[in-house]
Each structure stands twice: as C-alpha cells, then as structure tokens.
C-alpha cells in the first residue's frame, strides 16, 4: 500500500461536511500557518516539498508562487483551475466531490502565503453539481470562521468564490481561464506578461490546479521535507491518477510517484490489468501527451523499468517516451484501432481550438479530415506524410500549447504505429467496418529501438 | 467553440424574455462577487440562468436582456454565448441527452451508445424529436471516463451505460414533465 496524503480520509462518514472533516484533522494547516508561520515560511515549506503543478505541465509550485509580483496597494489573486477537461482526466472531480474541504483548506493556506484576500475556483460548467458541493463547503467554512475577516485573529481576511464555466476545453489554459473569468471568450493571452505579473483584472495572480492546492495541506501539516521524502528525484509526493480505457478497475488512485508502470497497470491494487485482451498502447497523462505502445510503457529505450514519474515517463523524449501530464491515464486493448482513436483525438482538438491562430484552427481541421478519410477507407498512402507535415507545422507555431497538444497525438501515433496507418490505406474495404480489429487484431512489428 | 461558427439568428415565433424576480435576485448576488466595475465577470453564470429561464436555450431576446442587466453591448454577449458549447442558440427538447464521444469513452463503447440513442429516438446527433421531448447532443470529455460510456442530462451524470440502461432512462424522462437544468431553477 502506498501512502495517501489527499485521499486518506475519503469515504469516512461525514467527511464531506465540516464536522467530519475537522474530526479527521481538517483545517490544521490553516491553524499552523496563520498562528505560527509567516507567509514567507509557508512558501519556504512549499519550495522544500518539491511540489510540482498537477494540472499538466509540472512546473514547480514554490517557484511559481515566488514570481508573484507585489506592487503596493494592488490586490493579488489565487485562481484554482477546476476546469478539468483534458480527456481522460477526472481526478479533480473526484477530490472535490468526496473531500471538498481539502480544497477549501488548501486555498486558505495558499492564499495566506500569496497575500491574496480573494480567490476564485473556476469550475467547468458541466460539473454543476460539484459547484453546489463546493458552495456548501465554503458556506460551512465561512460560518465557522475559517473564511471572512480576521481569520483566527491573525488579521488575515479571505473570501472564496466559485465561478462556473460553460463548456470549453481551452478555458483550462490559464490565460484563457482568466479571460473567461472576466466574462469574455476563452481566447488565450499572449505571454509574457505572465499571470504572476498581470493576471485577473490585470492584477498579480497565481493559477493552480485543484490537486496542487490540495497538496499544500499535507505539506504544511507535516513539513515540506517530509513530503519530499516520498517519490523519486524531482518527482516528489503523491499524484492522483484517473485510470480508464480497457482496464479491469477504472477509477481514481493516489500513487506515490515512482511506482513502476507495470505494477500500476497490472496490480489489483490499481488498474487490475487489461480487460480481456492484450495491451496495445497507453496514454498516461491525458489525450495531449504522446501515445506509447505497450512495450515502451513498461520499459524505457534503455530497457529500464519505466516509473510513474515526470522524468521516467518522459525518458527518451518523444522518440520513445511520453509525459505524466495531468495523470489522465487510459489503456488500449488490441481490439482498438489507432487510426480511429487518432481521428477521435483530432476531432476533439479541432472542436476545442479557440480559433485565434491559423495553424491550430485550420491545421486541426485538415488533420481531422485526412484522418476521417483514412479511417473510413478513402485514404491514400500520401496521407500519412501529409498528416506528418501538418502536425509539424502546427507544433511550436501557436499562441498557446493547445496547438502542440493537437500535434503530439498525431505525431506519436504515426511514429509508433505507421504500419497500421499504411494498412488503412491499403485495405479500404476491411477498415470500412468500424470494428475492424475486434475479431482480427492488427499485428504490429515493433520497431527496433535505437539505444 | 471558437473555431466552429455558431450563427446568431432570430428564431421565428420566439416568446419574449424577462427574468423572474428570483432569478434577478440570484443575478445580483453573483454580480456582488466581483470587484467594483467588473460586473462583466458575471456574464457566464448569468447566461446559464437566462438559458434555464428560457426553456433551455438563449434567444436573441434573452441575450439582450442579459446585456441590459450587465450594462454590456449586445455583441459582447453574443460573442460569448456563441463561444461556449453549453449555450444553446436554438430551441432544444425538454430533455437534452449529451453523450460523451471523446477517446476514453470511445474505448469503452460510446459509439454504440450514440448509435443506440439515435435508433431509439429516430434522430441524429444534433437533432430534436418531433414531439419536442428529446434533443441528442454529442459532447466532449465530461470528466467521467472511468465510468464510461456516459451521458449527461441537465446537471445529472448517467454512467456505466448499457443499451438497456439508456432505454430505461429514456422511459423515465418521457414521463418527467420538467426540464433538468444545469442550474437549480
Ligand atoms: C489547452 C490546455 C488545457 C488545460 N487544461 C487544464 C485543466 O483543465 N486543468 C488544469 O489544472 N490545468 C490545465 N491546463 C494547464 C494550465 O494552463 C496551467 O498550467 C495550470 O492550471 C497550472 O496549475 P499547476 O501549476 O498547479 O499545474 C491546460 C493547459 C492547456 C494548454
Ligand atoms: S493554439 Fe489554438 S487554442 Fe491556442 S490560442 Fe491558438 S488557436 Fe487558440
Ligand atoms: S472521455 Fe467521456 S467522460 Fe472523459
């Protein structure tokens, strides 16, 4: 059993309410921070913990906080990113639904460190029922004096508001989120300036993922050094992984970073193995990260066991590696078609492109069209090079990383599964049946890996 | 979405729109959450309320009422309403079934669920049944991939779907006289 820092108390009676949460040690981090620590000392603990942003990019949280500009007389904001729209990711929903006070507590402690008197949770509109759970938790916290003026007599004031989105993946990108929170279309801003200097209402702002802010609670309770003892190298602490796809035990799991990938997939404590058939491929960190074939998920190109850490999953770069991303994990069995799934991924990015940059707006649409025709038996051999060319022209040429996120799934699918794309061009009648690999899986010749 | 153009057009025979008293009170509470002069921040939550009060969609009248309430130009409301996929700019059925079709759901059989609903209701995704009871929408990942396939109807998630479960849900909804909205109204 791994250690659990966030989900330890989930499922205990009354844990969703303030009383039950308090009975299990809730709000200790607020007491400790406001009574015994300075904001600088809280920041120091977060730095020591090595915590990295859990929203996808893995940027060190302590460093992000230390960039917060502090011009006198200007308000500062903490904005929690609860947009959670990265396909495959459902961990924040789980956390907010099962233990909402953990997020509220983390926000108060983090805001104390940041000097923010108002913070917002931006939650995707579809999570409407969770919005209500959060409002209830915030109401309880306010009534008990954990929010409001002069909390615990410390002189620190804090208010939390929940803002609801309305269906747009791009609003998970931090600057699009801020635009949306200001009541506008979710068009990402050009950076710099970064939100830490000019964020919400042009004021210094930190945007953090739900899980990142929740992790501040155990970090302050036990100290940053204790937290940093868990994990491997620069991947410290625990991570929530939402596991889905063709596995026996889908769900949200809290793992200690450093767990071997093979154990995570096959152990009955976690995914419980692949459902029914053989494992074909894995997307370990949400749809934006490269897809990897089974053998490269278990072992790196150097034949070392792959671990669930930021570094190990990325080992080998995009040639043989992938990314931990948001922890939105899904596995493919051998009945699945990579061309079909790549078409589906690309359709998603085309739909979700905000439309500001031509390479992203047009390129995602072109890729969708080409993939559609390949998957439906109207493709040509040239289409594979065409797709490669389009994705390359999107990557790195856009305002925000959605362009890259649309390019990577296509590039990695072609890189590792090119023969399957060729099969589609050469077997049009066969692939017209949408379940073409169900009876007769496609047998791939694994490419020899250059060490 | 941004890249997909949604046209703003007046729908013939649309009822005029006015916020109810309780909705106005809720709108005022929402506006108070933001700093002085930042009332525009309330636009998304208030559009949700307007949609709930207008049979599940935003008519031009409803959007204009929102613009007036927040002191915005009409275009500021239209450009936002047309950007976000949860805002319907045309009338919808009483029950809107939103089936997730994104990859993790596809791996667990969402294509079959979409096909089943289409056959069962005799409509394609994006259409409304003639009796006005059901609209079928395909949507992107709803953060429920571990319990896929799934659909959302109003605020409620229906997970681990099978064709039989879908049939039972449709039968239940058929007898439900009121719309399931995202908001509490
Ligand atoms: C297209 C796109 C979508 C994103 N969606 C999310 C999201 O849903 N939730 C999230 O926390 N971060 C998301 N991010 C990352 C955010 O921009 C930002 O890096 C993150 O919220 C920072 O928090 P962290 O440092 O705690 O990870 C997204 C980024 C991009 C480019
Ligand atoms: S990359 Fe795509 S989503 Fe990002 S700003 Fe450009 S068009 Fe919009
Ligand atoms: S892919 Fe359907 S809920 Fe995530």
DSSP B102-128: SHHHHHTTHHHHHHHHHHHHT--TT-B
Domain B95-174 belongs to what topology? Glutaredoxin (3.40.30)
Report the residue of chain B nearest A185, measured CA to CA. Answer: B80
Determine the pLDDT at residue B11: 75
- Find out whether the beta carbon of A96 lies less than 6 Å from any atom of ligand 2: no
Please list every residue in chain B whose beta carbon sits closer than 8 Å to the beta carbon of residue A134: none
Q: A231 pairs with which residues across the strands?
A: A236
Q: Is the pLDDT assigned to residue A448 strictly greater than 70?
A: no
Q: Is the pLDDT assigned to residue A451 strictly greater than 70?
A: no
Q: How far is the CA of B54 from the centre of ligand 3 (A)?
A: 28
Q: Which atom number of ligand 1 is nearest to the Cα of residue A401?
A: 31
Query: pLDDT tens-digit profile of A94-134?
Result: 999 999 999 999 999 999 999 999 999 999 999 999 999 99
- Find out whether the beta carbon of B151 lies less than 6 Å from any atom of ligand 3: no
Split at pLDDT 50, 70, 90, the class of A170 is: very high
Could you tell me the residue ranges of all domains in chain B? 1-89, 95-174
Query: pLDDT tens-digit profile of A369-408?
Result: 999 999 999 999 999 999 999 999 999 999 999 999 999 9
Q: Which atom number of ligand 2 is nearest to the Cα of residue A353?
A: 3
> A336: buried, middle or exposed (CB in 10 Å: 19+, 13-18, 0-12)?
buried
Query: Cβ–Cβ of A353/B102 closer than 8 Å?
Result: no
Please list every residue in chain B whose beta carbon sits closer than 8 Å to the beta carbon of residue A182: 38, 40-41
Percent helix, strand, coil in chain B (nearest 5)?
Answer: 40, 10, 50
- Find out whether the beta carbon of A328 lies less than 6 Å from any atom of ligand 3: no
* CB-based contact A142:A108 (threshold 8 Å): no
Q: How far is the CA of A401 from the centre of ligand 2 (A)?
A: 7
* C-alpha distance across the termini of chain A, in Å: 34
Query: Cβ–Cβ of A244/B35 closer than 8 Å?
Result: no
Q: What is the ipTM of this complex?
A: 0.96
- Find out whether the beta carbon of A355 lies less than 6 Å from any atom of ligand 2: yes
- Find out whether the beta carbon of A80 lies less than 6 Å from any atom of ligand 1: no
Q: How far is the CA of B108 from the centre of ligand 3 (A)?
A: 10
Share of chain A above pLDDT 90, in %: 97
Distances in whole angstroms, Cα of residue B74 to Cα of each of A245, B71, B88: 44, 9, 17
- Find out whether the beta carbon of B31 lies less than 6 Å from any atom of ligand 3: no
User: Which residues 6+ apart lie within 8 Å of A48 measured at CB?
Assistant: A62, A223, A224, A225, A227, A228
Please list every residue in chain B whose beta carbon sits closer than 8 Å to the beta carbon of residue A364: 3
Residue A139 sits at the chain B interface (C-beta within 8 Å): no
Determine the pLDDT at residue B181: 76
Determine the pLDDT at residue A293: 97
C-alpha A18/C-alpha A81 separation (Å) is 23
Q: Is the pLDDT assigned to residue A30 strictly greater than 80?
A: yes
C-alpha B18/C-alpha B54 separation (Å) is 9
Q: Is the pLDDT assigned to residue B92 strictly greater than 80?
A: yes
Residue B71 sits at the chain A interface (C-beta within 8 Å): no
Query: What residue ranges define each of the domains in chain A, with the CATH number in brackets?
Result: 18-229 (3.40.50.11540), 232-333 (3.10.20.600), 338-439 (1.20.1440.230)
Q: How many CB atoms lie within 10 A of CB B184?
A: 10
Query: pLDDT tens-digit profile of A262-273?
Result: 999 999 999 999
> What is B1-89's CATH superfamily?
NADH-quinone oxidoreductase subunit E (1.10.10.1590)
* CB-based contact A56:A239 (threshold 8 Å): no
The minimum CA-CA distance between B111 and chain A, rounded to whole Å, is 10
Distances in whole angstroms, Cα of residue A405 to Cα of each of A80, A86, A127, A352, A360: 22, 10, 23, 11, 10
C-alpha B25/C-alpha A296 separation (Å) is 57
Query: pLDDT tens-digit profile of A307-327?
Result: 999 999 999 999 999 999 999
The minimum CA-CA distance between A178 and chain B, rounded to whole Å, is 10
Q: How many CB atoms lie within 10 A of CB A413?
A: 25
Determine the pLDDT at residue A114: 98
Query: pLDDT tens-digit profile of A185-213?
Result: 999 999 999 999 999 999 999 999 999 99
């Amino acid at each position: 059993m791994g250690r659990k820092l966030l989900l330890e108390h989930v499922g205990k009676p009354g844990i969703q309410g303030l009383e039950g949460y308090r009975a299990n040690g809730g709000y200790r981090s607020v007491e400790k921070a406001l009574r015994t620590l300075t904001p600088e000392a809280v920041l120091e603990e977060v730095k020591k913990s090595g915590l990295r942003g859990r929203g996808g990019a893995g940027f060190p949280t302590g460093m992000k906080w230390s960039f917060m500009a502090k011009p006198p007389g200007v308000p500062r904001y903490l904005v929690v990113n609860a947009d959670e729209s990265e396909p495959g990711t459902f961990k924040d929903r789980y956390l907010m639904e099962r233990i909402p006070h953990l997020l509220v507590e983390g926000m108060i402690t983090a805001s104390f460190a940041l000097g923010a008197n108002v913070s917002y949770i931006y939650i995707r509109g579809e999570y409407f029922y969770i919005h209500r759970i959060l409002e209830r938790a915030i109401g309880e916290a306010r009534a008990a004096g954990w929010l409001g003026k002069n909390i615990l007599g410390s002189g620190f004031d804090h208010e939390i508001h929940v803002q609801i989105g309305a269906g747009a993946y791009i609003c998970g990108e931090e600057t699009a989120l801020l635009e949306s929170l200001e009541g506008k279309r979710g068009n990402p801003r050009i950076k710099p300036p970064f939100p830490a200097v000019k964020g919400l209402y042009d004021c210094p702002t930190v945007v953090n993922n739900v899980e990142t802010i929740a992790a501040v609670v155990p970090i302050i309770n036990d100290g940053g050094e204790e937290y940093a003892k868990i994990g491997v190298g620069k991947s410290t602490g625990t991570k929530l992984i939402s596991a889905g796809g063709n596995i026996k035990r889908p769900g949200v799991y809290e793992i200690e970073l450093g767990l071997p990938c093979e154990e995570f997939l096959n152990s009955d404590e976690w995914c419980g193995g692949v459902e029914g058939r053989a494992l074909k491929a894995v997307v370990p960190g949400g749809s934006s990260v490269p897809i990897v074939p089974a053998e490269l998920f278990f072992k790196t190109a150097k034949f070392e066991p792959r671990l669930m850490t930021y570094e190990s999953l990325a080992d080998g770069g995009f040639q043989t590696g992938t990314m931990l991303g948001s922890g939105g994990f899904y596995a493919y069995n051998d009945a699945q078609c990579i061309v079909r799934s790549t078409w589906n991924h690309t359709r998603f990015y085309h739909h979700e492109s905000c439309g500001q940059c031509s390479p992203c707006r047009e390129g995602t649409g072109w890729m969708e069209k080409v993939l559609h025709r390949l998957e439906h038996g109207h493709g040509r051999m040239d289409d594979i090079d065409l797709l490669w060319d389009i994705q390359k022209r999107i990557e790195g040429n856009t305002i925000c990383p959605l362009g890259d996120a649309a390019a990577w799934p296509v590039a990695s699918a072609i890189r590792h599964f090119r023969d399957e794309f060729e099969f589609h061009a050469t077997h049009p009648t066969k692939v017209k049946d949408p379940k073409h690999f169900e009876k007769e899986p496609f047998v791939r010749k694994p490419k020899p890996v250059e060490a | 979405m941004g890249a997909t153009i949604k046209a703003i057009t007046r729908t013939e025979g649309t009822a005029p729109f006015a916020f109810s008293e309780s909705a106005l009170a809720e709108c005022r509470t929402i506006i108070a959450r933001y700093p002085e002069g930042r009332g525009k921040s309330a636009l998304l939550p208030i559009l949700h309320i307007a949609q709930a009060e207008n049979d599940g969609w935003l008519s031009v009248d409803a959007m204009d009422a929102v613009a007036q309430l927040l002191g915005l130009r009409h275009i500021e409301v239209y450009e936002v309403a047309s950007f976000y996929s949860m805002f319907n700019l045309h009338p919808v059925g009483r029950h809107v079934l939103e089936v997730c079709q994104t990859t993790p759901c596809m791996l667990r059989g969402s294509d079959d669920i979409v096909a089943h609903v289409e056959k069962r209701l005799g409509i394609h995704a994006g259409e409304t049944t003639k009796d006005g009871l059901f609209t079928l929408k395909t949507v992107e990942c709803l953060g429920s991939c571990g319990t896929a396939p799934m659909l959302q109807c109003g605020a409620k998630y229906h997970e681990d779907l099978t064709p039989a479960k879908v049939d039972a849900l449709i039968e239940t909804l058929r007898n439900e006289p009121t719309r399931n909205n995202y908001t509490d109204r």
